[in-house]
Chains A and B, each alone.
Chain A
Amino acid sequence: MSEHNTHIDEHRDDEASKLGMWLFIFTELLLFGGLFLVYSIFRAQYPANFHESSLELSVTIGVINTVVLLFSSMTIAMSITAIQKKNKKLTLALIGVTILMAFIFLVNKYFEWGHKFEHGLYPGSELMQLLERGHHLYFSLYFFMTGLHALHIVIGMVLLVIAYVKVNKGSIKHDKFVFLENGALYWHLVDLIWIFLFPLLYLIS
């Protein structure tokens, strides 16, 4: 260790922290993977119904949300570059932009879901009970998968807000930023899941 005032915790192990985060990400991948599997089996069983239902979704909102998530994924990756280069201001700005993008995503989702709720289409509604089995399954999966994904967005936002505060306070800095790294990994996971959700639910018909 050098003579500088860099205090390194005796029990600190960034590699292990990251490995732990990855192990958690694996469980998340398999959770969504299971849902994708359920989706594909039912899609194989009710191809016509799944096709008709997917036409109900707005591709425009889907595209906007995809662009928003991809962009936010880049900004959070950049925030790590910024902290490594000791640029605290830029790090804060980039985390801030990412949180803003997450918020825009949720606002979009609110309008998308709200539109369906207005037409009486929501889990457990009377309309849902009357739908054909294939349509019912499609919309149940749609609400469950995008809902679970949106929950992950909210959790990711909380993590990023904590990271923002920590960077601001100086407890995350150029030689100690594993919390930001793990938060970013979680945020990329959210993006990764959306990369598959978007074509499967919105595009393939």
Chain B
Amino acid sequence: MDNNGSHITEYKVLIRILFILLLCTFITIEITSFDLAAFTVTAALLIAGFKSYLVLSYFMHLKYESLLLRILVSMVFLLFFVIVLITFIDYSFR
């Protein structure tokens, strides 16, 4: 795949993504203004996860990249998730 044949993301799509990202930001601010303890953290992190998915796929163009790259990126996030999990298991059962 060379650049001559690569995908061009239209301006419209990018504007739409920005709009969704801004909307998510304001939803996060609204949600975190209520004190719902663990739910607040989970909700904020889920929205942040969704936002990073949008940035990775559209702004960072992953949606149109090779399968190899997409698998690699997922692996890094999976690795980080496993590290977090192991650390918290260690922390909770010490």
**A interface with B by C-beta (< 8 Å):** 14-15, 18-19, 22, 26, 29-30, 33, 37, 40-41, 44, 59, 63, 66-67, 70-71, 73-74, 77-78, 80-81, 84-85, 175-178, 181, 184-185, 188, 191-192, 195-196, 198-200, 203-205
Point out the residues of chain A lying under 8 angstroms from B77, CB to CB. 29
Contact B3 A73 (CB under 8 A): no
Bound together, the chains give a CA A59 to CA B44 distance in angstroms of 15
Interface size class of B (residues with CB under 8 A): 35 or more
Interface contact A33-B52, CB-CB below 8 Å:
no
CB <8 Å contact, A77 and B59: yes
Name B's A-contacting residues (CB within 8 A).
1-4, 6, 8-11, 14-15, 17-18, 21-22, 25, 28-29, 32, 40-41, 44-45, 47-48, 51-52, 55-56, 58-61, 65-66, 68-69, 72-73, 76-77, 79-80, 83-84, 87-88, 91
Taken together as a complex, chains A and B put the C-alpha atoms of A74 and B52 apart, in Å, by 13
| Min CB–CB distance B3 → chain A (angstroms) | 6
Please classify the interface of chain A as helix (H, G, I), strand (E, B), loop, or mixed, using the class held by over half of its residues.
helix
Q: Indicate which residue in B6, B25, B44, B65 contacts A66 across the interface (CB closer than 8 Å).
A: B25
Tell me the complex Cα distance, A73–B61, Å: 12
Are B83 and A37 closer than 8 Å at their CB atoms? yes
Cβ A176 vs Cβ B3 within 8 A:
yes
- A37-B84, A44-B91, A199-B45 known; A63-B25 Cβ under 8 A: yes
Which of B6, B40, B69 is close to A22, meaning CB atoms less than 8 Å apart?
Answer: B69
In the assembly, what is the distance between CA of A16 and CA of B32, in Å?
42
A-B contact pairs, 25 of them (CB 8 A): A14-B3, A15-B1, A18-B65, A26-B76, A30-B76, A33-B80, A70-B25, A73-B55, A73-B59, A78-B11, A78-B14, A80-B9, A80-B61, A81-B8, A81-B11, A84-B3, A84-B6, A175-B3, A181-B61, A195-B52, A199-B32, A200-B44, A203-B32, A204-B32, A205-B32
Q: In the assembled complex, which residues on chain B have CB atoms less than 8 Å from the CB atom of A204?
A: 32, 40-41, 44
Partner of B48, one of A33, A84, A199: A199
**Contact with A177, one of B1, B3, B9, B91 (Cβ below 8 angstroms):** B3
Contacts of A195 in B (CB 8 A): 48, 51-52, 55
How far apart are A79's CB and chain B's nearest CB, in angstroms? 10
Closest to B66 in A: A15
For A44, the chain B residues whose CB sits under 8 A away are 91
Q: What residues of chain B lie closer than 8 Å to A70, measured between beta carbons?
A: 18, 21-22, 25
